[in-house]
Chains A and B, each alone.
Chain A
Amino acid sequence: MELGVVGTWIAALLTLACLSFLYKDNPFFRFAESLFAGVSLGYYVGITLNQTLMPNLWEPMRQNFGQNWDLLVPGLLGVILYMRYLPKFGWVSRYALAIYVTYYIGVDFTRRLHGEVLPQLGRAILPLSHFDSRTLVSAIFMLGVGSVLIYFFFSREQGPVTKRIARAGIWFLMISFGAAFGFTVMGRVALLIGRLNFLILQWIYPMLGIS
């Protein structure tokens, strides 16, 4: 229990140190910031070691090397990544880097056309056969997608027509950005609510004996 109270005090004081940045940059904030930077790196060590390197690399090879002998290669490639810190042999790390980057970019490519372009375009195709409010909404939607795409044409000078359409595209973008901004106020404030909730309900109230 004692440890719990100490923990709450630590968390509360660190919270206040961070908030003090709003007034101005100060030593408390810089202390908290440096501590955070250090702890977060240590956190990476803990999580990567315990959750990926042990179960996915070390244990499989230790328990059944015959089945998992090939994992030696990614292990070695991983070590090679660190060769960049040796000035003379920095180029060796390019092998690991090339494999790492091109693989993840390849996976990214499969997401783009297959997962984004085709389904999104498919959704933008709507019938305009009836004259009712639904059709109007569909028309607005399609105008939005089309005009934004036209705004993103770069290899042609905009003509009088495309200029107008591109301008409509900007308007759609602005509505979207405005809406997104309005939407986001909530999210950001949510975080503050979370912190103040902690400070008031779990630190100040118990300190004052209010339940």
Chain B
Amino acid sequence: MRTGARSLAHIVNPLFRAPLLASLLLTLSVSAFAIAPETSSPAAPELPPAQDFVAKDRPGDSGNSILLTWKDPAGLPAEAKLQIRRAEPPAYEWSEIQTVKQGVGRYVDSSARDRAVYRYEIRVVSDATPDSAGIAGAVSAPLLSDPVTSKDNWFRAERSNSLIASILFIGIILGSIRYAQSGRKIFIRRIAGLNAVDEAIGRATEIGKKVFYIPGIQSMDDIQTIASIAILGHVARATARYGTDLDVPNKDPLTFVSAREAVKAAYLSEGRPDLFREDMVNYVTYDQFAYTAAVSARMIREKPAAIFLIGYFFAESLILAETGQSTGAIQIAGQADPTQLPFFVATCDYTLIGEELYAASAYLSREPVLMGSTRGQDIAKGILLLLGIVGVVLASFGNTWIADHLKTQ
């Protein structure tokens, strides 16, 4: 199976010849050799000793640990345990470090120090079995490991797949941004909810009512909030152009500051700093539901013409959207996380679903950086789809190499 996958990998795709993956495979096959069953085992005394005892540096860690592996011998009494002992230079006195149950086969000694040379031994101990002198507490012959040292490693081989994915992904995104910045045209398809933005603001202008923009309740360390602030910039430019009043109530203090800066910048860039008031972007409170209650009450009192609910929302989504609905406002919602989307879909006029939120900021701003990244994400999706299709074809022929190598640890 493994060899099949290897040869196939060499044929199918040059990508698989990446040295990292090759080294991963090598490690896998070496370890497979290392634990291959021995041909003969010596005749067991009363208690059979453990088998295939190997001590080596645990790969892919920050040092100070030794990985021990072994096989339990057959025919042990049920209560028998395996005792692991260690000897250190220069004295080489054996001391117990752990006694483990049967069936584990593996122990990591994380009390080891780097560069020190150790030897380990493992023996079977059984309290119930009498030893040669007839006293309970028999101990098997010890099995000794080769000398071993722990070391500090540079790479976690088991994460090669995710490393390759990350590097590839970062490369694609930065490459696409560069491509867009070089002035070449990038197409972004129409997103239904977005054309409604100007329509909604236009309507607010006509009837002389406010536009509410609620940027979710998460902080600026959440990516959806950052996307929302980008869209807020666009909305604020439109309200500045039309001279419509804008109200941005905030739950998170950091989001609040960024939102205020974004709105201020938008009014400046439209040449209407006179229309900008500091309290357009205001801070309500930090608690999710106190915030929700205050904003819903404000919606009912002020009856805005348009409400934007874009960002990361939790349970408050439905209260806000349902209250907004009852005031008769046009509502445009957007969230990348799927949890609250059903409520937005059910109560809002337009909803940006999932990744549309990120694409929307690109579509609205037409900024090369955003357009480029949107394209980069599409390329990544294309690669994933292709990988998926190839994976399904291979899996249908009984080869799960791709699916196996998508597992992360």
Contacts and interface: CB of A to CB of B under 8 A. Distances in A.
Interface of A: 21, 25, 29-30, 33, 36-37, 40-41, 44, 84, 97, 100-101, 104-105, 108-109, 113-115, 117-119, 121-122, 124-129, 142, 145-146, 149-150, 152-158, 173-174, 176-178, 180-181, 184, 188
B22 interface: no
B189 A149 contact: no
Contacts of B374: 154-155
B361 to A, nearest CB: 11
Which 8 residue pairs across A and B have the least CB separation, nearest first?
A122-B406, A40-B287, A37-B290, A125-B391, A104-B221, A177-B342, A37-B285, A125-B403
B402 A125 contact: yes
Contacts of A21: 293, 297
B385 A101 contact: no
Interface stretch (B72-80, B104-112, B160-168, B201-209): B160-168
A126 B400 CA distance: 9
Contacts of A29: 293, 297
A118 B355 contact: no
Given A30-B297, A37-B290, A158-B189, A117 B392 contact: no
Contacts of A84: 257
Interface of B: 159, 161-162, 165-166, 169, 186-189, 191, 220-223, 254, 257, 284-287, 289-291, 293-294, 297, 300-301, 318, 338-339, 341-343, 345-346, 353-356, 359, 362-363, 374-375, 377-378, 381-382, 384-385, 387-388, 391-392, 395-398, 400, 402-404, 406-408
B388 A146 contact: yes
Instruction: Determine the main DSSP class of B at the interface with A.
Output: helix
B294 A152 contact: no
Contact of B392 (A127, A154, A184): A127
Contacts of B341: 177, 180
Nearest to A100: B221
Contact of A125 (B169, B363, B406): B406
B286 A113 contact: no
Contacts of A180: 338-339, 341-342
Contact of B290 (A36, A128, A142, A152): A36
A117 B384 CA distance: 9
A40 B408 contact: no
Contacts of A119: 406-408
A181 B322 CA distance: 14
25 contacts: A25-B300, A36-B293, A37-B287, A40-B285, A40-B290, A108-B221, A118-B165, A118-B407, A121-B387, A121-B388, A122-B407, A125-B388, A125-B392, A126-B392, A127-B400, A146-B388, A154-B191, A154-B359, A155-B189, A155-B378, A157-B189, A173-B353, A177-B346, A180-B339, A184-B342
Nearest to B318: A188
A51 B400 CA distance: 47
B287 A149 contact: no
B221 A101 contact: yes
Contacts of B220: 97, 101
Nearest to A30: B297
Nearest to A135: B396
